[in-house]
Structure 1
Amino acid sequence: MGAPKNAATRDRLIDSARFLFWERGYAGTSMSELLAHAEVNSGSFYHFFDSKEALLRAVLEQYIELLRPVVVNPAFSASPRPLERIFAILAGYRESILTTKCTFGCPLGRLALEVGPENAPAHKLIAQNFQGWIEAVRECLVAMKPSLPRGTDLDALATFILVTMEGGVMLSRSYRSVDPFDRAVEQLREHFRLLLAAAKTKKAR
């Protein structure tokens, strides 16, 4: 009986931290707020984590685990077409912007800016999260490779798509409007249109 209860307590701490770090920021979340939100005492906390930084690492590890089932797989199931799968991922972020009345911010982007550069373990996990996102998008680009211009740098293009998403989310939060995100995504569509048109032109010659 003890093990499941312990696991539930640990999960509650991680879930509370994930929510509070997103809502208030890592630095803006106090230990007392964490304990109150998770409904645990300090003894229970230190049974699982030796510090707030250790809890942050657990949150970041959970984000890595959730990337596929929560972000990637639903988008991929929306369309069999690789390009539309990419835009389905972006549409998921747009929905989050709208449902939060433009207060949504990518939790990883926020942590990347907020967590001090000296916290190397946390930044390593943040980078792993971003890399997982890039690799998921790259899968779509690999499937599109025959339709793209020869020599297209798929890693750079996947990174560019991530930067488009992160920048669009950040601007929409600041402007309290989805318009910056929409404009960024529209420019990305235009970029793909030009790439695909260029590849067709070269093949026709």
Structure 2
Amino acid sequence: MTGDADRRLARIRAGAFGVLAASGFLLLFGPLLAKAWIWLVEPRNPDWWAAGGQWVGGVGTIGAVVVALWIAIRDNRQLRADRVKRDQRERQEQAAKVTAWIETTENGVDMIVSNANAEAVNHVVVSFDLVRHLPMTGSTLHRGPVIEDDEYLYAILPPGKWRMPVREGWQRPDMTPGVMLAFTDSRNGHWLRLTDGRLIEKDQNVVSRRKIRFPQRISVPESY
């Protein structure tokens, strides 16, 4: 919660406790106060004044209960909203630790995927990508149900760094090479990391989203 929300909630709680205290006071001392008023002012039926005091106290008690219930419902909703935000933040933190990039060495060009989490990710598809310019435009974002020659499919990718060789025929001199990475984290969150590094959450894993049918060529991770 923000500071303003905390202060508003504190004022509401203070008001509710005040109403509850006043109601309890009236309920306990209402009949006595009514009798004292009768003695000071004029004779009246004491039962009438006693009933009046009890009625006022009862109304106050009902009001306090309603306010207390409203506060409890509000707090429960806020707790649920905070829990959802916390779960989403933890999922994003885990997904943010799965990254990919292009690396050029003396032996050639490789796609490198790093899973810096303590848990493995699964349903992993690593796709070689070509972009015309950076920031990314003209990327090959749409893939079909078949794992293509410039892609690697992994059932599971453990923590660590992993290497996927880029074949010479995949590259083009007029375009920039990149990596597109789809995976599912250990919390069953589905993600797509684009060539420019952006991370997008998806409703389905890459196998369901692309309607990939098996058998397919499943690669074995090669340690970096």
Give the number of the structure whose alpha-carbon radius of gyration is greater.
2
TM range (shorter): under 0.3
TM-score, normalised relative to structure 1: 0.22
- The structure that is strand-richer by fraction is 2
